[in-house]
């Protein structure tokens, strides 16, 4: 009797420890995904942060990019480029799969199986994207932006901690 309670608690805690993230694209079945990365976008004055999440699909993968915006007219539009740590570039075309809610805009971009293999071998260095929207006097910032795989805005030369996310490691686990 005394053994059952600790065993039950261990089983209960381990269930939550291995819980995995998932992405569901406009009514599709959920796909297993990486954690939600917060990349630094220094030129985007509104927040300076971009959320990136990557999921494995049956035909490759999908990248979810989310940006906070000042108004409902702003959208992530056009193509997107994923720069890898080995200087390789993956160009993603806009399939017009977008969502907008709670002051944020989200777009989804798809990877082919060959591109997925590249993502499994190399960390993401940066993601280049475009924000477009209606011209207003105090509207959202629009233009071309680059979100870098950095955990913090600032660091010192003496800081020996990890400064970027291990995207290739997490993608290869999916």
Q: From CA 15, how far away is CA 80, in angstroms rounded?
A: 36
Whose CA is closest to 128, among 104, 144, 115?
Answer: 144
Report if residue 30 sits inside a domain. Answer: no
Q: Mind listing the pLDDT tens digit for each residue in 97-145?
A: 998 888 899 999 999 999 999 999 999 999 999 998 866 656 678 889 9
Q: From CA 27, how far away is CA 122, in angstroms rounded?
A: 30
Q: Which domain holds residue 90?
A: 35-152
Report if residue 165 sits inside a domain. Answer: no
Q: From CA 94, how far away is CA 171, in angstroms rounded?
A: 22
Report if residue 160 sits inside a domain. Answer: no
Number of domains in the chain: 1
Please give the average pLDDT of every successive group of 10 residues along the chain, which has 174 residues. Answer: 47 43 78 94 90 93 93 88 96 90 92 95 96 72 91 74 87 90
Full-model pTM: 0.82
Whose CA is closest to 92, among 68, 76, 75, 108?
Answer: 108
Report if residue 40 sits inside a domain. Answer: yes
Report if residue 67 sits inside a domain. Answer: yes
Report if residue 57 sits inside a domain. Answer: yes
Report if residue 16 sits inside a domain. Answer: no
Report if residue 100 sits inside a domain. Answer: yes
Tokens 């209606």 sit on residue: 134
Is residue 98 within 8 A of residue 146, CB to CB? The reply is: no
Q: What CATH number has the domain bearing residue 70? A: 2.60.40
Is residue 64 within 8 A of residue 172, CB to CB? The reply is: no
């Amino acid at each position: 009797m005394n053994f059952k309670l600790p065993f039950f608690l261990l089983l209960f805690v381990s269930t939550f420890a291995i819980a995995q993230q998932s992405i569901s694209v406009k009514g599709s079945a959920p796909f297993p995904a990486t954690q939600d990365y917060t990349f630094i976008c220094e030129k985007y004055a509104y927040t300076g942060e971009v959320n990136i999440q990557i999921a494995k699909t049956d035909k490759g993968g999908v990248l979810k990019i989310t940006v906070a915006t000042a108004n409902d007219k702003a959208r992530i539009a056009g193509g997107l480029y994923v720069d890898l740590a080995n200087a390789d570039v993956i160009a993603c075309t806009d399939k017009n799969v977008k969502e907008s809610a709670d002051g944020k805009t989200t777009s989804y971009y798809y990877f082919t199986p060959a591109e997925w293999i590249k993502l499994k071998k190399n960390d993401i260095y940066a993601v280049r994207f475009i924000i477009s929207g209606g011209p207003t006097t105090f509207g959202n910032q629009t233009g071309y932006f680059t979100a870098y795989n950095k955990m913090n805005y600032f660091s010192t030369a003496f800081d020996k901690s990890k400064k970027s996310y291990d995207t290739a490691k997490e993608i290869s686990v999916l």
